[in-house]
Amino acid sequence: MGLCSQLVSVFSRKPIFGYKAMVYAMLSIGIMGFMVWGHHMFMSGMSPYSGFAFSVITMAIGVPSAIKTFNWLGTLWGGKIRFSIAHVVLNRICVFICLWWNQRSLSSRSQCLTFLCTTLTS
């Protein structure tokens, strides 16, 4: 996501909007990311109290993610957006990495490779 932030800034020809908020959001996503592993284990016999705690942290991680998204939009707003081949390629790589990270629970890596091929060629 840091690379995506850099790309948005470079190709809109503006500094990142809300830089401090962006840094704090990235730090909080990193910290909370280590605490949400339990939301994958609801069927493992975990206590309901632990499940509730993991659910709350999983939902709370959406707040800094929204801050990052709105800061990206704020950076793009009023910028002189420049589209180039490098922008498109790097954008596809960032989108693929984010989607792959969220979809890494696919049943096999071949499905992930198929997803990569269809994402990069469309």
Q: Which amino acid, 79?
A: G
Q: How confident is the model at residue 102 (pLDDT cuts 50, 70, 90)?
A: low
Q: Which tens digit of pLDDT belongs to each residue from 32-68? A: 888 887 777 766 777 878 878 888 888 888 899 889 8
Contacts of 7 (CB under 8 A, 6+ apart): 87, 90, 91, 94
> What are 108's two structure tokens?
């096999």
Q: How confident is the model at residue 122 (pLDDT cuts 50, 70, 90)?
A: very low
The mean of the pLDDT values for the chain is 76
| Average pLDDT estimate for 115-122 | 53
Q: Which residue has the higher pLDDT, 16 or 120?
A: 16
Q: What ranges do the domains of the chain cover?
A: 1-81, 83-122
> Which single residue is written with the structure tokens 């830089």?
19
Q: Which amino acid, 42?
A: F
Q: Which tens digit of pLDDT belongs to each residue from 48-58? A: 788 788 888 88
* Per-residue pLDDT at 119: 54
Q: What angle do CA 59, 52, 68 make, to 5 degrees?
A: 15
pTM for this one?
0.64
> What are 39's two structure tokens?
């939301």
